[in-house]
Structure 1
Amino acid sequence: MDTAQPLARPHWLSYSERLESRPLSAIDLVVLHCTELPDMDTARQYGERVLYASGTGNSGHFYIDRDGRLEQYAPLNRIAHHVRGYNPRSIGIELVNRGRWPHWLDSRHQAMDEPYTSAQLDVLLQLLDQLRQQLPGLRWIAGHEDLDREQVPASDDPAILVARKRDPGPQFPWAYLLANTELRRLHVPG
């Protein structure tokens, strides 16, 4: 792979320059997500929503569509808001996948049955390789579900608790990914 050619098409969020900056040496972790939305356009709309007093919102750095199209929404030297407690040290990669959409917290709709495409996985592995070459401190990879284990009341029945985050979910092929990258899965006690 030619690392001089970036894989991702820059498509900066309107607030990307308002995201807090960081040195690239601070990055040692990739966090994988699924968008839990129907398509890339909807993911972009959600990413553009301003949610914080800083004028920023929730977004990953990279988005990989089902056909393998890769877009970068935030520069690596900016801290994107994609996972509680780990943002300053991590890069967020979002894979387009409907997940539990549109009933994210409904206890009757917790199955995440959409498989990831081979195009997504191929591009993800290329991106991870490119990031490893760019960022010598990058060593770890985790799923959002590994790092945010909070249980919340279900939207249909507050007496039932459901996982706030389940992505990238049960369809994500962790064994395949880990066999094809130098990154190691970060396990957090708890």
Structure 2
Amino acid sequence: MKKLLLCLLGLLSPLSAADTVPDDLVIIQKPIIFDEKRKALTLQYMQERYGMVQKEPTIEPRMVVVHWTVIPTFEKTFEVFNPPELPAARDGIRAGGDLNVSSQFVIDRDGTIYQLMPENTMARHTIGLNYTAIGIENIADGDSLPMTEAQLEANTKLISYLANKYPIEYVLGHSEYHRFRDTSWWKETDANYFTEKNDPDIAFMNRLRSQLSSLSLKPLP
């Protein structure tokens, strides 16, 4: 009954027969714009970056990539992710296409989980892996805004839920995505399109994976 009520209130993703949502997991729906323009840009990205030609911008989630935003609030993060097209201020990554960056989830500093996109719709958050990776952004910067205990707990609950719903094999930080470059998982067509990342810190990721030890996760390459 609690799950159904939260769903009707828009606090949980729409339920299906396959979903098993823990009673203590609340996901607030806050969808970004996903109009025909964003759909077309996503399909273009998938074709140009990964050589994937599809009618719908869907993915088969096999990994979760954890990030921090550097942006200090959820509200500002939402404003950045909401437009379909990459703004002029992000010219440094325009070589990868005009699709704006985004993620499926954002976790605020108090552990509140927001869902911006369907889990199986592609978001641009990690070079080379977007076609199979669910992105979780955290409101943090590793400096004046370190990752919080509430975010650790929220990431643990959310990823546990996702791993029960999809065949998730890896949980990695954005700073670790380079470890997939020489594997069959890496689909980026331009060998020179790559950026170094430091989010989140490895200590946090090790703590998170320790919390997820009951899952059948694989060690990173």
State if a TM-score over 0.5 links the two structures.
yes
Contact 1:141 1:183 in 2 (8 A): no
CA RMSD of aligned residues (A): 2.7
Offset at residue 68 of structure 1 (A) = 1.0
Paired letter, 1:7: V
Contact 1:32 1:142 in 2 (8 A): yes
1:38 corresponds, among 52, 68, 72, to: 72
Is 1:126 aligned with 2:128?
no
Offset at residue 187 of structure 1 (A) = 2.8
Offset at residue 54 of structure 1 (A) = 8.6
Q: Quote the Cα distance in structure 2 between the aligned partners of 1:179 and 1:92.
A: 19
Q: Quote the Cα distance in structure 2 between the aligned partners of 1:180 and 1:98.
A: 22
Is 1:167 aligned with 2:196?
no
Contact 1:83 1:148 in 2 (8 A): no
Is 1:87 aligned with 2:130?
yes
More strand by proportion, 1 or 2?
Answer: 1
Offset at residue 185 of structure 1 (A) = 6.1
Paired letter, 2:114: E
Q: Quote the Cα distance in structure 2 between the aligned partners of 1:9 and 1:56.
A: 24
Please say which of residues 112-121 and 58-67 is displaced more in the overlay: 112-121
Q: Quote the Cα distance in structure 1 between the aligned partners of 2:156 and 2:28.
A: 16
Paired letter, 1:14: I
Deviations 1:134-184 (A, max 9, x none): 11x1121111111148xxxxxxxxxxxxx74211125x5233212211253
Contact 2:175 2:197 in 1 (8 A): yes
Helix, strand or coil for the counterpart of 2:131?
helix
Match of 2:58 in 1: 22
Identity of aligned residues (%): 25
Helix, strand or coil for the counterpart of 1:175?
helix
Match of 1:160 in 2: none
TM-score normalised over the length of structure 1: 0.72
Contact 1:35 1:97 in 2 (8 A): yes
Equivalence map 1:56-95=2 (5 Å): 56-95=99-138
Offset at residue 35 of structure 1 (A) = 0.5
Paired letter, 2:134: I
Match of 2:186 in 1: none
TM-score normalised over the length of structure 2: 0.63
Offset at residue 78 of structure 1 (A) = 0.6
Contact 2:168 2:217 in 1 (8 A): no
More helix by proportion, 1 or 2?
Answer: 2
Q: Quote the Cα distance in structure 2 between the aligned partners of 1:54 and 1:36.
A: 22
Contact 1:15 1:55 in 2 (8 A): no
Distance change in 2, residues 1:148/1:59 (3 Å): farther
Q: Quote the Cα distance in structure 2 between the aligned partners of 1:186 and 1:47.
A: 31
Helix, strand or coil for the counterpart of 1:115?
coil
Gap runs ≥5 in structure 1 = 100-111, 150-162
